[in-house]
Structure 1
Amino acid sequence: MDIFRRFRRPPTLDLDDIQAAVLRARPEPYFGTHALLEITDQDAGRELLHRLASRVSSAAHWDEPRPSWLALAISYQGLVALGVPEASLASFPANFRAGMAGRADRLRDTGVNAPDKWEQPFGSKRVHVAVSVYADNERDWRAEMAGYEQQLHGLPAVRLLSHQDFGATGWNVFGYRDGFSQPVVEGSGAEPLPGDGRPIKAGEFVLGYPSETGHPLPMPAPGVLGRNGTYVVFRKYHSHVAAFNRYLHDNGRTDDERELLAAKLVGRWRSGAPLALAPERDDPKLGEVPDRINDFDYADDPRGLKTPLGSHIRRMNPRDTKLEVLTDVNIRRIVRRSTSYGDALPASVLKDDGKPRGLDFIALGARAIDNVEFLQSEWVNSGNFVGLGKEKDPMISLQDKSAYFTVPGTPPRRVHGIQSFNTLLGGEYFFMPSLTAITWLADPGGRHP
């Protein structure tokens, strides 16, 4: 559940030019589709962008309910396929140019998560354009999809490689409400809610504005291409929900013990109530109050007695946790637009039914690629930064055979035999251009600085 914020301050960003996905909260419930396209002819690719330009939603009036919207992003190989000049291509960051498969070592995508195990077309050079449609109801989702698909007619040189529907009624496939902790972007007009902290400089999320360093981050050239754009990291996971349920069942004698262990692994109860505010038992009403759901820190819990240091949410956003390996937490923030696909499994189901279900992890930001690579390498697949050694994230890491999870206490409890509850099926790095940049990319005559 993305927290719905109100527009209360005068915006200073070019909201009309920034894509809606950067600021518009995912609705609840939500419906949608992720599509991956290949361009085999420059002119067809440019025509595709020309046709879709008017359908891509801007962030203007992002706080007002909208039944559906469309987002568009382009991979490095997609920019090559569009015939973007070499000087512009070279101005993009090296990790973006390498693509996600090329950065597998840094991401620690090994074993079953390695690129040679990924679903097609991930890991190939054929993934050029990603189109995502979001809606708050099925009728408008299907109408938006019909409008987008109509634009593909008559463009045989634009091939649909993958079409994945997603949606949820408020809970992900593990049965948790999610999407609570999102950064507030300075200049967006958003009013911070309790627990949000101060707004973070816009340049951390949108190119062309001052970042937390006081200066804009490097952006692609020319300025018409880079300004108001951002980067997107897309990672598709298959979730082993029955294995998660079995793990809880094997390590808890009662339903209450199992739910407490589940909360310790995640850092929140399934209702969304954080352990920091409800350490002993779930408080479902708390999970429904936007002004309270995120209003906490870890100042009174340095040992992790309430929220374990290695729990998923504390790793992903340590807040004021004292870190053994120092870093500026504010430059590690990302906008998350993750979506769930497939049916959830009740906690009582201990045998997998073989159906596809999981998570599309989607991160946006001017440093999104750097940050996800850092998170994967340092915070997900290691515990050194909080003094936990080789202990890994209990939910999204690739676990070792001898893995365990520490529940602090007197004495602490080590829960052994933790498994990998999510397997990576593939992913890619994308650039999400501004609306102006989409028009520029579609116009061969406008390709010169």
Structure 2
Amino acid sequence: MSLMNKLRNRFRSDRVTLQLDDIQALVLRSRPEPYVGLHAMLRVEEAEGGRALLGRLAQYIPAAGDWTEDLTAWTGVAVSHAGLKALGVPEASLESFPLAFREGMAGRAAQLRDFGENAAETWEEVYRDENCHIALSIYAVDKERLDEAVQHAMTEYHASQGVTLIGTHEFGADADAKNPFGFRDSISQPTVAGAGVEPQPGQERAIAAGEFILGEKSETGAPVAMPQPKALGQNGSFVVMRKYDSRVGAFNDFLRAHAEGEEAQHRLAAKMVGRWRSGAPLTLAPDQDDEKLGADPQRNNDFDFDGDEAGLICPHASHMRRLNPRHGELTILTDENIHRIIRRSSTFGPKWTPDVTTADDREGERGIFFIFISARAYDTIEFLQQEWINRGNFIDLGEERDPIVGLHEEPGSFTIPSEPARRRVNGITTFNRLRGGEYLFIPSLTALQWIAGAGWE
């Protein structure tokens, strides 16, 4: 049974409290498995031409009203602050957006810890100097459907004036939906209250809709601050897009250097991630991988860290446990529910194999677009980058960084709790190098038409 069929079986229209027909489907709709797609970046030189293009593209952007139904392809659109400005949105509206969004990802380097080889001056040109105004993302079940959807979008683009296509990148993965390092990706997704489905096992309660949808009540009981006017902000959300090159060969070589034999290397990799490559969590499969468990959405997220307070099964420093502590004890306390995110990450490049070495790593060949949606997207990514990814204070590990996505300006370490003494594995390097990104706003369908029609005039 497909993911969408399973969702359809859980969907109840009487549970819906959100204005689904006004929310872009991409906000709630998970990508298919397998999936293919295209990210396209556009720059607006003439406001009128850019607005006209958005208006024509709107017909290809499905609403979330049918987010559990089968779609062969769908398109989502998001706009940067520089893009809104280029489209002619009034200054009063521009100023109503969060400061981080107005400054842009490159402008927030200090808060994001984007230094050294991750610094903005090293990024690909498409993401530098506020070049990216409109991000168009198309997801499809196969190449034929993708080509059809791309053709629709490109027809509208070629009919436009004053808009330049500055970059495209194809992506995709097979039915295993694995990332460049061979791990099943985007397993843990929050349930959005009011979207029409109840949480699956392991997801605990649904998260207040206002954590993801602007204008709705958040976990605090009040809506998150929303851009103005209402026609622009309501039912929209914010997006973080970060493109990484994955150094798969360096990762494989690290495993070979610190673990003898394929089985031990798989185990070390699982300790670093918190799951086996199938997606099976260490907490439920501590001794060996379990592919059936990893592929079962009813079970692969049904766990917490009760009983593993010492991290003997799943290390505190593992990537998964860092980014979702699941109510584990933290030295620096925080409300996890206001740091939940909807993931829309997309993998590109050849499928992982264990024989790839550092000598085989080529820039741009393999990687991942880390994309997530949240009404608090910028607060969340900056918190994650500062505390949970590029530090270890919150788990009493000092400056130890995330072993998978942390920036290691000098070789770092990874701590594996053990008895009688913990093991510290040295030589962690930057396995995912940032190549660019942007802070984006994903408007509602009403807001797209408001922008397209210059609703402020």
Measured against the shorter chain, the TM-score band is over 0.9
Residue 331 of structure 2 corresponds to 324
1:250-329 aligned at under 5 Å gives the runs 250-329=257-336
Residue 392 of structure 2 corresponds to 383
Residue 355 of structure 2 corresponds to 348
Per-residue CA deviation, residues 249-283 of structure 1 (Å, 9 max, x unaligned), is: 01011111111000000000001000010111111
Residue 164 of structure 2 corresponds to 159
Residue 225 of structure 1 corresponds to 232
Residue 430 of structure 1 corresponds to 440
Q: Is the 8 A contact 2:250 2:361 kept in 1?
A: no
Secondary structure at the aligned position of 2:82 is classed as helix
In 2, the alpha carbon distance for the partners of 1:95 and 1:45 equals 24
The partner residue of 1:441 within 430, 433, 451 is: 451
Shift of 1:174: 0.8
Residues 1:414 and 2:421 are matched in the alignment: no
Shift of 1:404: 0.6
Paired letter, 1:147: H
Residue 358 of structure 1 corresponds to 367
Q: Is the 8 A contact 2:349 2:366 kept in 1?
A: yes
Residues 1:213 and 2:220 are matched in the alignment: yes
Residues 1:90 and 2:95 are matched in the alignment: yes
Paired letter, 1:125: E
**Residue identity (%):** 50
Secondary structure at the aligned position of 1:151 is classed as helix
Paired letter, 1:180: I
Shift of 1:402: 4.0
Secondary structure at the aligned position of 2:126 is classed as coil
In 2, the alpha carbon distance for the partners of 1:67 and 1:87 equals 39
Per-residue CA deviation, residues 54-106 of structure 1 (Å, 9 max, x unaligned), is: 11111112111211100000000001001111110110000000000000010
Secondary structure at the aligned position of 2:26 is classed as helix
Secondary structure at the aligned position of 1:231 is classed as strand
**TM-score, normalising length from structure 2?**
0.96
Residues 1:67 and 2:84 are matched in the alignment: no
Shift of 1:50: 1.2
In 2, the alpha carbon distance for the partners of 1:126 and 1:180 equals 32
In 1, the alpha carbon distance for the partners of 2:159 and 2:442 equals 25
In 1, the alpha carbon distance for the partners of 2:101 and 2:282 equals 37
Q: Is the 8 A contact 2:180 2:349 kept in 1?
A: yes
1:235-250 aligned at under 5 Å gives the runs 235-250=242-257
Secondary structure at the aligned position of 2:167 is classed as strand
Paired letter, 1:383: G
Q: Is the 8 A contact 2:35 2:140 kept in 1?
A: yes
Q: Is the 8 A contact 1:2 1:179 kept in 2?
A: no
Shift of 1:218: 0.7
Per-residue CA deviation, residues 402-421 of structure 1 (Å, 9 max, x unaligned), is: 41100110111100111110
Q: Is the 8 A contact 2:390 2:402 kept in 1?
A: yes
Q: Is the 8 A contact 1:240 1:352 kept in 2?
A: no
Residues 1:109 and 2:114 are matched in the alignment: yes
The count of aligned residue pairs is: 447
Q: Is the 8 A contact 1:100 1:123 kept in 2?
A: no
CA RMSD of aligned residues (A): 1.3
Per-residue CA deviation, residues 20-79 of structure 1 (Å, 9 max, x unaligned), is: 111001110001000000000011011111111111111112111211100000000001
In 2, the alpha carbon distance for the partners of 1:314 and 1:2 equals 25
1:24-103 aligned at under 5 Å gives the runs 24-103=29-108
Paired letter, 2:240: V
Q: Is the 8 A contact 1:2 1:26 kept in 2?
A: no
In 2, the alpha carbon distance for the partners of 1:199 and 1:123 equals 37
In 1, the alpha carbon distance for the partners of 2:3 and 2:407 equals 27
Shift of 1:145: 0.4
Residues 1:394 and 2:403 are matched in the alignment: yes
Shift of 1:369: 1.2
Residue 7 of structure 1 corresponds to 11
Paired letter, 2:360: D
Structure 1 unaligned regions, length at least 5: none
In 2, the alpha carbon distance for the partners of 1:276 and 1:178 equals 17
Shift of 1:124: 1.3
Paired letter, 2:317: G
In 2, the alpha carbon distance for the partners of 1:198 and 1:341 equals 33
**TM-score, normalising length from structure 1?**
0.98
Paired letter, 2:205: R
Structure 2 unaligned regions, length at least 5: none
Secondary structure at the aligned position of 1:16 is classed as helix
In 2, the alpha carbon distance for the partners of 1:81 and 1:178 equals 35
In 1, the alpha carbon distance for the partners of 2:395 and 2:418 equals 16
Deviates most, 398-407 or 64-73 = 398-407
Residue 127 of structure 1 corresponds to 132
Shift of 1:126: 2.0
In 1, the alpha carbon distance for the partners of 2:414 and 2:391 equals 12
In 1, the alpha carbon distance for the partners of 2:453 and 2:411 equals 56
Shift of 1:153: 1.6
In 1, the alpha carbon distance for the partners of 2:260 and 2:242 equals 35
Greater helix content: 2
Shift of 1:115: 0.2
Per-residue CA deviation, residues 320-358 of structure 1 (Å, 9 max, x unaligned), is: 110100000000001010000111231122232526110
Secondary structure at the aligned position of 1:89 is classed as helix
Distance 1:12 1:375, change over 3 A: same
Paired letter, 1:226: G
In 2, the alpha carbon distance for the partners of 1:159 and 1:276 equals 49
